[in-house]
């Protein structure tokens, strides 16, 4: 706004009228400026008002610049008016700024608020693979019974996998038809020159373990009795995948060696295991069987009712009292200690537990199956 002398009231003389006009103008600017401050709806708008009135080219600042051209007494009058107006403006501006800043902070708080207690809104949540879940549950049972969990190599010598387990030389399991032999070479170097030679029948001394049982002897060679261990792991066989066979599957071996262990300790242990996995009402039976490394040997069956209500005995695991020759291979004296052992198929247990009819489903990793666990 430019000063408009025409609107100024009549003055007594030229000098007075100039000071009077400027004072009047300041009063008018004050009213305008304070109204503009109060109308500012944002901090940016308030900044604009600030520079429109008090900035370098601001209207109130322009009046101040004219002070220099006034007589000292005029300068005093107009200067005081200027001081009062700019003070009032600063006060109004500060108050408005506080209000706008508070409103802005509240807006930010409201829009950026997060509720940390909300559950994640993910389309899918990860879960353990049913085999991993079953493996952990089985181990939990045996850890609860005082067993220690140990693991061993997947590339094994045929001595541990067969010989030490009292398996005769011409046992069919040893043939290329059942067992996957490895060349014994690693980076072109023999892993163990004595073991790596290819024999007449095409086998080598090194194989992918066909069972977790070799860990029985490794464990005995490694520790003194009493021994209570559970050994989970991957095992390999020459098999073409179908509903009940995979070339790679999982077992948990159990071995207990102590004084005064009998078949009833074994049965009690396995029955507790079956109940923990399949429920307290599950019926189990011990069915005589043959394994080279146990005598006597038995398989444990559980009575399982399928979805259609039809019941049947399902084989859960192989077991038996550790053969004296196996105790000897492990450096133990069969006159002093007895042992029992068992081998649980993890896939088999999971199939019974979840009613899964086809082994291959565990390997497919189809998300539709996995997300149902
Ligand atoms: N190793 C056997 C298999 O793979 C399972 C087994 C049977 C393990 C009897 C044992 C046992 O420890 O006592 O079929």
pLDDT for the residue numbered 177: 84
- Residue among 212, 213, 214 whose CB has most ligand 1 atoms within 8 A, to mutate: 213
**Residue 282 alpha carbon to ligand 1 centre in Å:** 22
pTM above 0.75, yes or no: no
Q: Which residue has the tokens 């060679």?
A: 221
pLDDT for the residue numbered 104: 93
Average pLDDT for 14-20:
74
Find the angle CA(270)-CA(273)-CA(274) to the nearest 5 degrees.
90
- Residue among 300, 342, 344, 348 whose CB has most ligand 1 atoms within 8 A, to mutate: 342
Does the pLDDT value for residue 175 go beyond 50? yes
User: Which residue's C-alpha comes closest to atom 2 of ligand 1?
Assistant: 343
**Alpha carbons 248 and 23: distance in angstroms, whole number:** 99
Domain 130-154+209-370: which CATH number of 3.40.50.300, 3.40.50.410, 3.30.930.10, 1.10.3860.10:
3.30.930.10
pLDDT for the residue numbered 235: 98
**Alpha carbons 197 and 191: distance in angstroms, whole number:** 11
The per-residue pLDDT for range 311-320, each reduced to its tens digit, is 999 899 999 9
Return the closest-CA partner of residue 52 out of 29, 76, 72, 75: 29
**Residue 232 alpha carbon to ligand 1 centre in Å:** 13
Better-scored residue on pLDDT, 350 or 122: 350
Instruction: Say which range, 95-104, 141-150, 192-201, has the weakest mean pLDDT.
Output: 192-201
Residues with CB under 6 A from ligand 1: 211, 213, 253, 291, 294, 318-320, 341-343
Instruction: Say which range, 14-23, 71-80, 182-191, 213-222, has the weakest mean pLDDT.
Output: 182-191
Written as six digits, the tokens of 287 are 């069915």
pLDDT for the residue numbered 90: 92
Average pLDDT for 289-295:
97
Q: Which residue has the tokens 């049965």?
A: 267
**Residue 149 alpha carbon to ligand 1 centre in Å:** 17
12-111 against 130-154+209-370: fold identical: no
- Report strand pairing: 284-291 vs 294-305: antiparallel
Average pLDDT for 221-248:
95
Q: Which residues have CB under 8 Å from 63's CB, separation 6+?
A: 3, 22, 25, 26, 29, 78, 82
The per-residue pLDDT for range 46-61, each reduced to its tens digit, is 999 999 998 888 888 8
pLDDT for the residue numbered 222: 96
In percent, the amount of the chain with pLDDT more than 90 equals 62
Written as six digits, the tokens of 76 are 């005093």
Q: Where are the domains of the chain?
A: 12-111, 130-154+209-370
**Residue 215 alpha carbon to ligand 1 centre in Å:** 11
Other Cβ atoms closer than 10 A to 291:
21
Does the pLDDT value for residue 298 go beyond 90? yes
**Residue 325 alpha carbon to ligand 1 centre in Å:** 16
**Residue 342 alpha carbon to ligand 1 centre in Å:** 6
Q: Is residue 28 exposed (0-12), middle (13-18) or buried (19+ Cβ within 10 Å)?
A: middle
The per-residue pLDDT for range 236-278, each reduced to its tens digit, is 999 888 988 999 999 999 999 999 999 999 999 999 999 999 9
pLDDT for the residue numbered 11: 47
pLDDT for the residue numbered 10: 47
User: Which residue's C-alpha comes closest to atom 4 of ligand 1?
Assistant: 211
First to last CA, the chain: 77
Nearest ligand 1 atom to the CA of 343 is: 8
Reply yes or no: is the peptide bond before residue 296 cis, omega within 30 of 0: yes
Does the pLDDT value for residue 199 go beyond 80? no
**Do residues 334 and 327 make contact, with C-beta atoms less than 8 angstroms apart?**
yes
**Residue 213 alpha carbon to ligand 1 centre in Å:** 6
Q: What CATH architecture does domain 12-111 belong to?
A: Up-down Bundle (1.20)
């Amino acid at each position: 706004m430019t000063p408009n002398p025409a609107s100024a009231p009549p003055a007594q003389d030229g000098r007075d009228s100039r000071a009077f006009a400027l004072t009047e103008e300041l009063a008018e600017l004050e009213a305008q400026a304070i109204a503009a401050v109060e109308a500012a709806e944002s901090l940016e708008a308030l900044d604009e008002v600030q520079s429109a009135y008090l900035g370098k080219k601001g209207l109130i600042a322009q009046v101040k610049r004219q002070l220099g051209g006034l007589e000292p007494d005029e300068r005093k009058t107009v200067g005081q008016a200027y001081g009062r107006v700019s003070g009032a403006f600063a006060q109004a501006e500060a108050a408005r700024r506080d209000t706008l800043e508070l409103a802005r902070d509240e807006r930010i708080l409201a829009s950026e608020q997060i509720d940390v207690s909300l559950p994640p809104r993910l389309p899918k949540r990860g879960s353990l693979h049913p085999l991993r879940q079953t493996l952990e549950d089985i181990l939990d049972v045996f850890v609860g019974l005082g067993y220690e969990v140990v693991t061993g190599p997947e590339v094994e010598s045929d001595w541990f996998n067969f010989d030490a387990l009292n398996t005769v030389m011409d046992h069919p399991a040893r043939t290329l038809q059942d067992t996957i032999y490895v060349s014994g070479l690693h980076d072109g170097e023999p892993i163990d020159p004595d073991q790596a030679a290819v024999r007449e029948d095409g086998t080598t001394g090194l194989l992918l373990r066909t069972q977790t049982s070799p860990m029985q002897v490794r464990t005995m060679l490694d520790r003194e009795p009493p021994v209570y261990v559970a050994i989970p792991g991957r095992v390999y066989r020459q098999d073409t995948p179908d509903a009940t066979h995979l070339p790679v599957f999982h077992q948990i071996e159990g071995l207990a060696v102590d004084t005064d262990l009998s078949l009833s300790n074994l049965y009690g242990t396995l029955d507790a295991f079956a109940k923990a996995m399949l429920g307290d009402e599950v019926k189990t039976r011990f069915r005589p069987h043959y394994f080279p490394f146990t005598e006597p040997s038995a398989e444990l069956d559980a009575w399982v009712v399928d979805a259609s209500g039809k019941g049947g005995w399902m084989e859960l695991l192989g077991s038996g009292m550790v053969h004296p020759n196996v105790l000897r291979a492990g450096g133990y004296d069969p006159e002093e200690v007895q042992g029992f052992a068992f081998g649980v198929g993890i896939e088999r247990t999971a199939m019974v537990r979840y009613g899964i009819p086809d082994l291959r489903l565990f390997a497919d990793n189809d998300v539709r199956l996995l997300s149902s666990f």
